[in-house]
Amino acid sequence: MNPHQLLPTSASVTTSAQWYAYYKANAEYQLDIPWERGAEITQDERNAIAASLAAWQLGETSDGSHLLAATRKYAKQINDPKYIDVIELFIKEEQRHGNDLGRFLDLAHIPRLKSNWGDTIFRLLRYSTPNMEIWTTPVIIVETLALVYYKAIQKATNSIILQQLCQQILRDEVKHIRFQYERLAIIYKNRPIWLRQLTYLIQKILFLLTVILVWFGHRHAIKAGGYDFRSYWQDAWVKMNFAWQRMKPEKYQG
């Protein structure tokens, strides 16, 4: 069964039970990755995307312990223990992305990274406090940019494996972003409008900085996928503006 059919219409906030059913089904609803073909990456492709892909793969790896700490605290506050089970499945899905990208790097003889300045900054931001909003905000920003990034990588290579991996990750990330903006809508539900506006302003500043940092760190790979700075900038803001619209509590019934 297509797991996307398990989610309600966009007019309703998805319950933890519905997200749990979705993630369980999605774990079995995977594209076929023809690993037997080999990496099939050219030297020109390697020059353009290898360093960037290794850095991005590092960002996809995490044991999830900090997220689970924030989740347990938050789930207790809202009396929703099922949310912990959902986050555990979400972490497994993110780990699958990291493992699959790592497998491709190994197949293509591209060295894995143990550290990267961009990943370090992102982790410090997420780990600053075990708070669900503080964890969710940078994640939705990076996952929104991931839609642009993986689309660029998909177009920058003729490797069937890498193209399929990008397609699978893109498919997953669309729902990850929905998962995050719905959670923020729930968190913002009882927040005064003036404070929500201030929150959005802070997010826009953070997004602006992240867009620039990602371009600075990954511009060669993004350019190889057909973007220039202007088209990259526009695509990133269009996608994030959609998420901002959907994290408004008044968009949902009930």
Sketch the domain layout of the chain as residue ranges: 15-251
Cα→Cα distances 230→81, 84, 183, 220, Å: 44, 40, 31, 14
pLDDT average per 10 residues of sequence, the chain (254 residues): 82 93 95 95 96 93 85 96 97 95 97 81 67 90 96 98 98 97 95 95 95 96 98 98 96 80
| Assigned architecture for domain 15-251 | Orthogonal Bundle (1.10)
Q: Which residues contact 132 (CB under 8 A, 6 or more apart)?
A: 70, 71, 73, 74, 183, 187
Residue for token digits 């406090």? Answer: 129
Rounding to the nearest 10 degrees, give the CA dihedral for residues 201, 203, 206, 209: -70
Read off the pTM. Answer: 0.94
pLDDT (0 to 100) of residue 166: 98
pLDDT (0 to 100) of residue 125: 66
Cα→Cα distances 132→5, 57, 240, Å: 27, 24, 19
Distance CA 218, CA 149 (A): 9
Indicate the helix (H) or strand (E) that contains 178: helix 160-188
User: Phi-psi category of 64—alpha, beta or left, where left has phi over 0 and alpha has psi -120 to 50?
Assistant: left
The neighbour count for residue 1, using CB atoms within 10 Å, is: 9
